[in-house]
Amino acid sequence: MYNYVFLVGRLVRDIEVRKTENGKDVSTMTLAVTRSFKNPQTNTYDADFINISLWEPFVGSVAEHARKGDALAVKGRLQTRKEDINGKNIYTQEVVAERVLFLSLNKQSLEE
Asked if residue 111 belongs to a domain, the reply is: no
Asked if residue 112 belongs to a domain, the reply is: no
Asked if residue 74 belongs to a domain, the reply is: yes
H helix intervals, the chain: 59-65, 107-111
CB atoms within 10 A of CB 70: 20
- Domain hosting residue 94, numbered range: 5-106
Instruction: Tell me what the mean pLDDT of segment 61-81 comes to.
Output: 91
User: pLDDT for 96-109, tens place per residue?
Assistant: 999 999 997 665 54
Asked if residue 38 belongs to a domain, the reply is: yes
> d(Cα 81, Cα 59) in Å, to the nearest integer?
21
In the predicted structure, residue 56 carries a pLDDT above the cut 90? no
> d(Cα 7, Cα 63) in Å, to the nearest integer?
18
In CATH, what number is assigned to the domain containing residue 87?
2.40.50.140
Q: Count up the domains in the chain and report the number.
A: 1
